[in-house]
Amino acid sequence: MKKVLAAMLLFCLLMPMELSAAKVEIGKNKEFLVDGKPFFPIMQWLQKKTNMPQQKELGFNTYVAQGDKSTAKEYCDEAKKNGLFTVLGYKKEEVAGVKVHPALLGWFYKDEPDMAGKDKIAPRVPLSESISVYEECKAADSDHPMFLTLTTGYSKSEDANAAGNKGKDLSFYKQYAKATDIIGYDTYPIYGNNRPESLFWVANAASELDKLMEGKKPVYAWIEANGGSKWITPSKQRHPLPFEIRCEVWMAIVNGCKAIGYFTHTWVAMDQIGNPASTVKRGESKYYSQFGVPENNKQEIGKINKQITKLTNPLCSTDIKDRVQTDNKNIQFLVKEYGKQLYVFAVNMKRQSEKASFKVKGLKEKTKISVDEENRELAAKPGEFDDDFKEHDVHIYVMEK
DSSP for 254-294? HTTEEEEEEE--BSS-GGGTT-TT--PPTT--TT-BS----
> What band does 11 get if pLDDT is binned at 50, 70 and 90?
very low
Please state, in angstroms and as integers, the Cα–Cα distance from residue 373 to each residue in 33, 386, 396, following that order. Answer: 26, 18, 8
Side-by-side strand order, sheet with 384-389 = 324-326, 354-360, 384-389
Looking at residues 376-385, what average pLDDT do you find?
96
Q: 117-131, 175-189, 191-205, 227-241 — which is least confidently predicted?
A: 227-241
pTM over 0.85: yes
For residue 265, the model assigns a pLDDT of 96
> What's the pLDDT band for 258 if we cut at 50, 70, 90?
very high
Asked if pLDDT for residue 230 goes beyond 90, the answer is no
Q: For domain 324-400, give the CATH number.
A: 2.60.40.1180
Domain(s) of CATH 3.20.20.80: residues in the chain: 24-315
Residues 29, 318: Cα–Cα separation, whole Å: 6
Give the pLDDT confidence score for residue 17 in this predicted structure: 32
Residue spans in the chain of domains classed CATH 2.60.40.1180? 324-400
- Which helix (H) or strand (E) segment holds residue 348: the answer is strand 341-348
CA distance 379 to 178: 48
Q: Is the pLDDT of residue 2 over 50?
A: no
Cα distance between residue 185 and residue 213, in whole Å: 13
Q: Which residue has the higher pLDDT, 228 or 20?
A: 228
Average pLDDT over residues 77-81: 98
Alpha-carbon dihedral sign for residues 126, 130, 135, 136: positive
The domain 24-315 belongs to what CATH superfamily?
Glycosidases (3.20.20.80)
pLDDT for residue 319 is more than 80: yes
Under the banding of pLDDT at 50, 70 and 90, the label for residue 21 is low
> Could you tell me if 79 and 52 are in contact, meaning their C-beta atoms sit under 8 angstroms apart?
yes
Kindly report which listed range (116-130, 163-177, 298-312, 356-370) carries the lowest average pLDDT score: 163-177
Total Cβ atoms within 10 A of residue 138 = 15
| pLDDT, greater one: 283 or 15 | 283
pLDDT tops 70 at residue 282? no
* 343 in Cβ contact with 398 (< 8 Å): yes
Nearest to 251 by CA among 199, 293, 212, 300: 199
77 vs 277: CA distance, rounded Å: 45
> What pLDDT, on the 0 to 100 scale, is given for residue 280?
60
Strand 219-224 and strand 257-263: the pairing is parallel
pLDDT digits (tens, 9 = 90+) for 171-183: 999 999 999 999 9
Residue 90 belongs to what H/E stretch?
none
**Model pLDDT, residue 161:** 77
pLDDT value of residue 31:
98
pLDDT, average across residues 240-265:
97
Judge whether residue 150 has pLDDT over 60.
yes
Q: State the average pLDDT over residues 165-192.
A: 92
